[in-house]
A and B are shown apart, each in its own frame.
Chain A
């Protein structure tokens, strides 16, 4: 799923300082599951903002909403009737959701309350680890199911480098070396031949905005917003 971290409170407060009436919109999918921007977090942030602005004698009126997914047009439609009442919108979704919200209401300032940190696994409650950089050319078949693009700090295709230290990455003792793990897993599966050949330079597909259009589908016109 996509995970993110709420921006520091002071930064959010600064962004909102000239507005008196704000709609805070959460997202009920990934960002809610990672305990950052769901219904509950919207309420908490609103309470904090309300209190802080009251103390500053600059009260703010805050609306709260949480749509199922901010990256989906049909769920954003719910906001159409209420957005007009607000000066600006604060989004607690990931970067994708924030942008789609801004696209739907181009006349309103849409502000981010979250810093998106990546595509991650749910290791435990409140603990998420990045696993994919969505590079568009997956190499997991020959790296034992471990992504060197994401987990090697240098993104090496032919690792490990000389900085591996007792299985740790040179950047941090607590960060496992991706290539050490790849070696161990492939050795265990007797598949070291997967990494004896030199992997050619990647042809980076992520240097332009990517669009996915499945075979048999068309780009439809959404001028009616639905």
Chain B
């Protein structure tokens, strides 16, 4: 075991993993985190806590992670390279581990331009690839990036993202290989709507033997409405939303669009369960945490397995 986290145990035991996501509040309310967490408890194996997502200031990811641990859930601590340099990152990793955080997701981060402080200085002292390497070095060699020794290394299960839908498509599988070489243990993909393209990427990953070296969790975000689908298609960078998804949502009554979105998500999850090279699903129910019990029920992923 690299970390002994619940997520690692579930994946190692060969179960189909199911992770969720929670966005911390734009304020100091621990209660809000607890409320959102209550919807996810017992329904997912670990919960990603976003780090100033879309470059908008929120409660620190590590802080919300600690609240989650208090509530009996396992967090997956997201860390972006945009907001801190290598000193701050390593310090936060040590502190996070000291508080019981065992999973991390290493990301570049959305550009500041998208957020509430568009002219903030983006740090990017290191990038997501180098962040993966750094965490691995801390964990496996007991050394900081500088090479100096650290006491009681943080045993972190290292995650990263992959977006098979961003250009150039031919390079995406090689980028995955690079992340594996950097030391990543699991991947959570960008939200998938174009199943054909995702299948092609997984096929390439299988052929290169990559899926034997890393656990891939397929990203799923249920559409709440046609408006959301159109927004994702036109405004979210690197998102591939085929017209058939939009048309399917359009085809139902406005009040039923959310239900149709969940139906599409559940159909996708069924396919992922059978897809070679896919080890689980990462459900990003954006500001829809209260729907997770229903989604997990309908996706037939309950009860969650217990592994000791």
A residues lining the B interface (CB < 8 Å): 153-167, 170-171, 177, 180, 183-184, 192, 196-201, 204
Contact = CB atoms under 8 A, between A and B. Distances in A.
Given A157-B130, A160-B175, 12 more contacts: A154-B111, A154-B124, A155-B122, A158-B178, A160-B171, A162-B163, A162-B166, A163-B110, A165-B237, A177-B167, A198-B182, A201-B125
Contacts of B232: none
A154 to B, nearest CB: 5
Given A157-B127, A164-B166, A180-B168, A171 B113 contact: yes
Contacts of A163: 110-111, 166, 237-238
B237 A170 contact: yes
Q: Which of A155, A184, A196, A198 lies at the interface centre, i.e. has the most chain B CB atoms within 10 A of its CB?
A: A198
A196 to B, nearest CB: 6
For the complex of A and B, the 6 pairs showing the least CB-CB separation, nearest first, are A162-B163, A170-B237, A158-B129, A163-B237, A164-B166, A156-B127
Nearest to B164: A162
Interface of B: 81-82, 86, 108-111, 113-114, 122, 124-130, 133-134, 145, 161-163, 166-168, 171, 174-175, 177-178, 181-182, 190, 237-238
Contacts of B122: 153-155
A35 B272 CA distance: 59
A166 B239 CA distance: 11
A171 B174 CA distance: 24
Nearest to B130: A201
Which of A154, A180, A183 counts the most B-chain CB atoms under 10 A from its CB? A154
B108 A156 contact: yes
Nearest to B163: A162
A170 B178 contact: no
A198 B122 CA distance: 22
B111 A170 contact: yes
B82 A201 contact: no
